[in-house]
Amino acid sequence: MSTVASTQTLEQNQNPAGPGSVSVGDTLPELRIPITATLIVTGAIATRDFQKVHHDKDVAVAAGTPNVFMNILTTNALVNRYVGQWAGPSARVGRINIRLGATNFPGDEMLFTGSVESVDGANVTVKVIGTNSLGPHVTGTIELTIPTEEETA
Amino acid sequence: MSIDPSDKIGEIIAAGRERVSVARDEVNRPMIHHLCDAMEETNPIHLDPEAARAAGHPDVVAPPSALQVWNMINPSDPVIESDVDRAYAILAECGYPKVVAVNCDQEYDRYLVPGDVLTATEKVEAFAGPKQTGLGEGYFITTLTSYTDQSGERVGTMRFRTLWYNPEKRTS
């Protein structure tokens, strides 16, 4: 998938949220995701969502939208990726609760920002917002556990 | 012209009838790879068995957000009418034909590994309205899908809320 890789700005977090290092108010590194037809179509099919509005522009236009648009499963996957990239491989995601807003169309860009809402031992709640040129596409609350130093020792 | 759909939807919620679907394919590595390729997901717990084991998993795991993927309707499947579809049809017939997804709330009991075979059980859980929204007057409806594995253990749930609205009934 090098063609997809080359179109996306990867801001790989070199310092994932390590044991014991997470505090309320911490911000996640920003992540910019170009919204391409490739991402929308491959995301829809990889999530086994064959609704034509996600891969056939003619059908999408006939349905009253300007183009194909991102499906919800792809949005969920990108939220998952954004938080996981920050939290690191030892984290366990327990809940992804999203509110949907402005549609993701090809040619746009979505900017993810996030911050830590609460920390209780290993239990961390993160709020993320993915905004495109039309407004917030997704607002999410993610509950996860990040092992503490005692647990990983 | 619109009709109050509350009684009919209330009957559906009270009946609690569920649509049950068993995934055609087990959770598997090729589909996990497709997901990661499409999303540029690089977390090694999804791709590298050793990294997954180091993080405490028995094998590579599917991204948890893919909970819904395994039971998606196959394009060639016959249409099985469910109470969720009936509830949506009632809202459209009652004068609220336009739909927009509002919330998707997934909770995960455990991560999924290759070999898991999921059963999805879906029903209408909640209903609220009429509400004035920026899109027009409408009703919110929430479905609850529970996912169980091959042992009958629950692995996760998903609540999915949509707004069914009438764009001609806008106050602003």
Query: Domain-by-domain residue ranges, chain A?
Result: 10-152
CATH number of A10-152: 3.10.129.10
What CA–CA distance (Å, rounded) separates B136 from A84? 37
pLDDT (tens place) for every residue of chain B, 172 residues total: 678 999 999 999 999 999 999 999 999 999 999 999 999 999 999 999 999 999 999 999 999 999 999 999 988 888 888 999 999 999 999 999 999 999 999 999 999 999 999 999 999 999 999 999 999 999 999 999 999 999 999 999 999 999 999 999 887 6
Rg (CA), chain A: 17
Q: Residue B9 half-sphere exposure, CB side, CA atoms within 13 Å?
A: 27
Within 8 A of A39 by CB-CB distance, chain B residues are 38
What CA–CA distance (Å, rounded) separates B11 from B16? 9
Within 8 A of B35 by CB-CB distance, chain A residues are 46-47, 77
CB pairs under 8 A between A and B: 111
Domain(s) labelled CATH 3.10.129.10 in chain B stretch across 6-26+74-166
Cβ of A80 within 8 Å of Cβ of B64? The answer is: yes
The domain defined by B6-26+74-166 carries CATH number 3.10.129.10: yes
Q: Answer for the pair A106, A72: CB distance below 8 angstroms, yes or no.
A: no
- DSSP labels for B86-132? HHHHHHHHTT--EEEEEEEEEEESS---TT---EEEEEEEEEEEEEE
Q: Sign of the C-alpha dihedral, residues A36, A41, A43, A46?
A: negative
Chain A nearest C-alpha distance from B122 (Å): 17
